[in-house]
Amino acid sequence: MSQWSTHQLTDFFSAVNAATDEESAVAYAVERAAEMVEAEVAAVMVGDEVRGEWGFGPEVPVAGLLRADERLGVPGLGALHTCYTGLGEGRKQGALMVGRLSDEFGAEERQMLHGMAQVLGLALRSIRVLSDERGLRADSEREAEVAQTRQMLVETLLTIQRSISGRRPLPEILDLVTSGAAVLLGANSVALMLAEEGRARRLTVASTAGTPEAATHEGEAREAMAGGQALIRALSRDSVIAAPLQVTSEMAGSLVARLPGPAERHTGHRDQLAAFAQQVSLALTDSRTVEAVHEAHHDPVTGLPNRGLFLKIFNRVLASRDVATDPTSVLFIDLDRFKAVNDSLGHEAGDALLAAVAGRIRGCVRASDTTARLGGDEFAVLLHDSPIDSAISVAERIINAVKDPFRVADRDIFIGASIGVAISRETSEHSDVLLNNADVAMYRAKKEGPGKMVVYEPYMHTEALNVLSLRGDLQKALDAGEFALQYQPLIRLETGEVAGVEALIRWHSPGRGLVSPVDFIPIAEESGLIVEIGQWVLETAATQVAAWRRTFPDLTLNVNVSGHQLVHPRFADNVMRALAVAGLPSSTVTLELTESVLMSDPDLARASLTALRRLGVQLSIDDFGTGYSSLAYLRELPVDELKVDRAFIARAELTAEDLALVRTIVQLGQILGLRVVAEGIENAAQLEALRSLGCGYGQGYHLCRPADAADLPPFLERASLRHPNASLIA
C-alpha cells in the first residue's frame, strides 16, 4: 500500500496543467500515477485508442485494456490487478488505468486515482479547446484566458494545500476553498456543505463565499452526492453547479456554486468545479479535515451541533424562507438544578446526564429540526417550520420528558428544564437576535419557577438588561457593605413566646433602593456569589443571636441556605467556622433548605446533611408543600423541622383542601417527630385555625414582621416574659 501526500498531488496537478499538448500531459500522468500507487503499468485510453502507456514494454495488450478487464494479462509480467477510472463524464472522455502485481487497489488509492484522472481529463479538454480554436482562428485572447484559468486553478489549489500542510485554522482553510472556487468560476456565491455523521446525514454549511444563495441549494448538493458526479441546473436567470466531495470512499459533502446566466454557458465551469472539488476532497482526506470539521462544529459530550453551527443552520433557514408565511421558532432550554448535580457528582456523571438529556430532547422533535448544545446546561432547538402553537407544545413535551428521573451513576437524578420560545416574525431578523430573545424569555421562565415555559415579548428585553446590571452591582454589594439582615421571630403558638428568629437578608442598593431577596438571590446563585453572601449571612446572624442569647438564653437561629452552598465541598466546615467565631452552639442553629434543593439529588443532600446533623446543626425544609418531595425521602433525610409554605396558610381559613393539607403535614410532623412551623400567618383567624390543628410554631406579619436587629429586643422581651431568666438579666 503506497503512501501519498498532498504535495505529490499538487505536483501532479501543476505538471499536468502546465502541459501544452495532449501527449505530454498523458505521458506525465501515466508515469506519475503508476509511481504513486507502486503499479507496474499504467495507461490512458480515449475512445478506441490507447493514448499513452507506461511499463508495458514492446507488447501493449490493447484489447484487454479497452475491455477494462479486472485482471490483465501482460506478457512478461503475468496477471495484474487493475483499476480503471474515468477522465470525466462518460466513456467518451476516456479513462486512466493502472495495473499492479502485488495486491488489489484499496479505497483510498482508488479515490486518489479518480482525482488524478479528473485532473487529467480537465487538462486534456482545455488543451483540446485551445487546439480546436487555434484551428478555426488564431484567437490569442481566448488562449490566454484558458491558460489563465488553469494557472489560477493551480495557484488556488496550491494555496489551499499549503494552508493544510501548514495546519492553518480549519475555518481559514474552508474559506479558502469557497473563495477560491468563487474567483475561479466567477460565481456569485459558493457554499461548502458537509454531511454530518449519523443516519440523517444532515448537510451543514461549513463555509460560504459571496452572497448566501448557494447555501440554500441543499437539494442540488444532495443530488450531486447521490450521483457521485458534478451536475448543473438551470434556474430562471442563474445556474447552479454542485460537485460532490468524497473522503475515502464516502460522500462527504458538496461544493455548490451559483453563477449568473444560462446553464449552457457553464458546462466548462462544471468540469472545473468538479476538478476543484476532487482536489479539495483529496486534501481533506489527507488532513483528516472533515473529522476536524465535525469536531469543530459539534459538542463532544452530546454529539449535538454546537452554538456556532446552530447559528449557521439558523441563518440558512432564515435566508431560505419567507418567515411571514412560514415562521421558524427557536427554543432556548436551560436545565434546572443541573449545576448542583455537576458540582456534587462530578463531571463524568454531569456529562452522562447531559448526554441523556440531549437524547430526550431529540426524542421530542422531528428529525428535520435542529437540536444543539449551546454550552453548559443550555440547549437550543430550531423548529424549522413551526407556528407558535406547535412550538409551545414541543416546549411542553420537552419539559415533561426532562422531568422524569435520570438514572446516572447508580442514582435517580431529578432535574428539570426551563424554556424560552422566540418566533421569527420579520425577514430582517438575525439568528443571534432571535436566539437571544429566546434566552431572555428563558430567563423569565426560570423566574417563574422550575419547569416553566415563556414566549418572548419585546418588553422582556428591558427587564433582561436590568438583570445584567443587577448582576454587576451585586458583585460589589458585599464589599460595599450594602447587605443587612432582618430577623423575624418564630413563635410557639401554644404559649405565644419567641422560640427563635429567622435571619432574612436585605439589600440596600444605592442605585435601586431596597431589593428583595426573591430578586437577587437567584442571580447570586447563578453567579456563584451566593457562597460568599451565604457565609456573610451565617457569620452576621450567628454573632447577633449569640449576643441576644446573653439576655434570652434559649433563643435559636434559623438561616436560609441555598442549594449551591449545600453542595460546596467545604460547606460543613464553613458553617462550623462561622458558629465557632460567633460562639454560638451548633444545636441552636437550624438551616432552612427548600424541597427543590433536596430533590435535585437526594443522595448527595443526605450525605451533606447527615454530616451537618452529626455536628449538631438542625435542619428544616422551607416552603414545604410547594415542591414534590416524596414522603419516603422525608423519612430518610435527617430533618428536624417542616415549614409549611405560606400559600397554604393564606387560604387555610378558606378552603377545606388547604386545611386538610396543613392538618396532614402537622400529623406527619407528629409521627416523624418533627417541628412544624406555619409560615405567613397574617390574621387572627389563620392563627386560630393553626392553633386548633395543633401546629407547634408560627411565623407571620400578624405575629411579628421581619425587623432590624436594633428594633427586635423589645419584642423579644415582651414575648419572652415567660422565660425564667428573662427579667433577671434584662
Selection from ligand C2E, Mg ion, none that 562 binds (CB < 5 to 8 A by kind) is: ligand C2E
Q: Rule CB under 5 A: which of 362-391 touch Mg ion? A: none
701 binds ligand C2E (CB under 6 A): yes
Selection from ligand C2E, Mg ion, none that 518 binds (CB < 5 to 8 A by kind) is: ligand C2E
For the bound state, the minimum distance from the C-beta of residue 708 to ligand C2E, rounded and expressed in Å, comes to 13
Question: Which residues lie below 8 Å from residue 465, measured CB to CB, with a gap of 6+?
Answer: none
Which stretch in 131-139, 305-313, 331-339, 556-564 sits in contact with ligand C2E by CB under 6 A? 556-564
For the bound state, the minimum distance from the C-beta of residue 645 to Mg ion, rounded and expressed in Å, comes to 6
Instruction: Kindly state the DSSP code that residue 561 receives in the 8-state scheme.
Output: -
User: Which residue type is seen at 314?
Assistant: F
As a whole number of Å, the end-to-end CA separation of the chain is: 97
505 binds ligand C2E (CB under 6 A): yes
Strand pairing class (95-100; 78-86): antiparallel
Q: Rule CB under 6 A: which of 523-552 touch ligand C2E? A: 534, 537
Closer residue to Mg ion in complex, CB, 87/597: 597
Closer residue to ligand C2E in complex, CB, 283/501: 501
Selection from ligand C2E, Mg ion, none that 504 binds (CB < 5 to 8 A by kind) is: ligand C2E
For the bound state, the minimum distance from the C-beta of residue 336 to Mg ion, rounded and expressed in Å, comes to 19
The H or E element that residue 34 is part of is helix 22-36
Q: Give the x-and-dash track for 646-665 against ligand C2E (CB under 6 A).
A: x-------------------
For the bound state, the minimum distance from the C-beta of residue 643 to Mg ion, rounded and expressed in Å, comes to 5
Q: Rule CB under 6 A: which of 588-647 touch ligand C2E? A: 592, 622-623, 646
Q: What is residue 55's three-state secondary structure?
A: coil
* Chain position carrying cell 426524542: 363
Total number of residues that touch Mg ion (CB under 5 A): 5
339 binds ligand C2E (CB under 6 A): no
Question: Which residues lie below 8 Å from residue 487, measured CB to CB, with a gap of 6+?
Answer: 501, 502, 503, 504, 541, 544, 706, 707, 708, 709, 712
Q: Give the x-and-dash track for 526-565 against Mg ion (CB under 5 A).
A: ----------------------------------x-----
- Is the CA virtual torsion 242, 243, 247, 251 positive or negative? positive
Q: Among 40, 175, 439, 622, which residue interacts with Mg ion (rule: CB under 5 A)?
A: 622
CA distance 55 to 242: 37
**Residue 385 near residue 393 (C-beta atoms within 8 A):** no
563 binds ligand C2E (CB under 6 A): no
Q: Among 497, 592, 601, 641, which residue interacts with Mg ion (rule: CB under 5 A)?
A: 592
CA dist 379 → 116, 438, 480, 533, 553 (Å): 44, 11, 36, 29, 53
For the bound state, the minimum distance from the C-beta of residue 197 to ligand C2E, rounded and expressed in Å, comes to 44
Closer residue to Mg ion in complex, CB, 334/592: 592
The residue of the chain with the least Cβ separation from ligand C2E equals: 700
In 3D space, the residue among 190, 179, 205 whose CA is nearest the CA of residue 293 turns out to be: 205
DSSP E strands, 226-267: 231-234, 238-247, 250-260
Closer residue to ligand C2E in complex, CB, 628/701: 701
For the bound state, the minimum distance from the C-beta of residue 683 to ligand C2E, rounded and expressed in Å, comes to 9
For the bound state, the minimum distance from the C-beta of residue 205 to Mg ion, rounded and expressed in Å, comes to 51
Strand pairing class (231-234; 95-100): unpaired
450 binds ligand C2E (CB under 6 A): no
Q: Mark out the alpha helices in 197-346 (DSSP H runs).
A: 218-227, 267-287, 289-297, 307-319, 338-345
For the bound state, the minimum distance from the C-beta of residue 714 to ligand C2E, rounded and expressed in Å, comes to 19
Q: Give the x-and-dash track for 667-696 against Mg ion (CB under 5 A).
A: ------------x-----------------
Closer residue to Mg ion in complex, CB, 395/541: 541
Is residue 600 packed enough to be buried (19+ CB in 10 Å), middle (13-18) or exposed (0-12)? buried
Q: Could you give phi then psi for residue 347, rounded to 5 degrees?
A: -70, -30
Q: Among 102, 516, 725, 727, which residue interacts with ligand C2E (rule: CB under 6 A)?
A: 516
CA distance 16 to 133: 20
682 binds ligand C2E (CB under 6 A): yes
Selection from Mg ion, ligand C2E, none that 694 binds (CB < 5 to 8 A by kind) is: none
Cα torsion 662, 665, 669, 672 to 10°: value is 170
CA dist 719 → 513, 554, 567 (Å): 32, 13, 37
488 binds ligand C2E (CB under 6 A): yes
- Is the CA virtual torsion 228, 234, 240, 241 positive or negative? positive
**Residue 519 near residue 512 (C-beta atoms within 8 A):** no
For the bound state, the minimum distance from the C-beta of residue 722 to ligand C2E, rounded and expressed in Å, comes to 23
Q: Give the x-and-dash track for 171-210 against ligand C2E (CB under 6 A).
A: ----------------------------------------
Which stretch in 108-116, 257-265, 609-617, 699-707 sits in contact with ligand C2E by CB under 6 A? 699-707
For the bound state, the minimum distance from the C-beta of residue 632 to ligand C2E, rounded and expressed in Å, comes to 24
For the bound state, the minimum distance from the C-beta of residue 534 to ligand C2E, rounded and expressed in Å, comes to 6
Total number of residues that touch ligand C2E (CB under 6 A): 24
Selection from Mg ion, ligand C2E, none that 505 binds (CB < 5 to 8 A by kind) is: ligand C2E
For the bound state, the minimum distance from the C-beta of residue 490 to Mg ion, rounded and expressed in Å, comes to 10
User: Which residue type is seen at 237?
Assistant: R
CA distance 76 to 55: 11
State the cell numbers at 362. 431529540
Degrees, nearest 5: CA angle 365-371-376: 130
Which stretch in 45-53, 387-395, 417-425, 622-630 sits in contact with Mg ion by CB under 5 A? 622-630
For the bound state, the minimum distance from the C-beta of residue 639 to ligand C2E, rounded and expressed in Å, comes to 16
700 binds ligand C2E (CB under 6 A): yes
For the bound state, the minimum distance from the C-beta of residue 681 to ligand C2E, rounded and expressed in Å, comes to 6
Q: Among 17, 344, 562, 596, which residue interacts with ligand C2E (rule: CB under 6 A)?
A: 562
3-state helix, strand and coil shares in percent for the chain, rounded to the nearest 5: 50, 25, 25
For the bound state, the minimum distance from the C-beta of residue 242 to ligand C2E, rounded and expressed in Å, comes to 59
In 3D space, the residue among 177, 182, 169 whose CA is nearest the CA of residue 193 turns out to be: 177
Q: Mark out the alpha helices in 320-415 (DSSP H runs).
A: 338-345, 347-363, 388-403
Selection from Mg ion, ligand C2E, none that 517 binds (CB < 5 to 8 A by kind) is: ligand C2E
The H or E element that residue 149 is part of is helix 140-165
* Chain position carrying cell 478555426: 136
Q: Could you give phi then psi for residue 313, rounded to 5 degrees?
A: -65, -40
For the bound state, the minimum distance from the C-beta of residue 538 to ligand C2E, rounded and expressed in Å, comes to 8
Q: Which parts of this chain interact with ligand C2E (CB under 6 A)?
A: 488, 504-505, 516-518, 521, 534, 537, 560-562, 592, 622-623, 646, 679-682, 699-701, 706
Q: Which parts of this chain interact with Mg ion (CB under 5 A)?
A: 560, 592, 622-623, 679
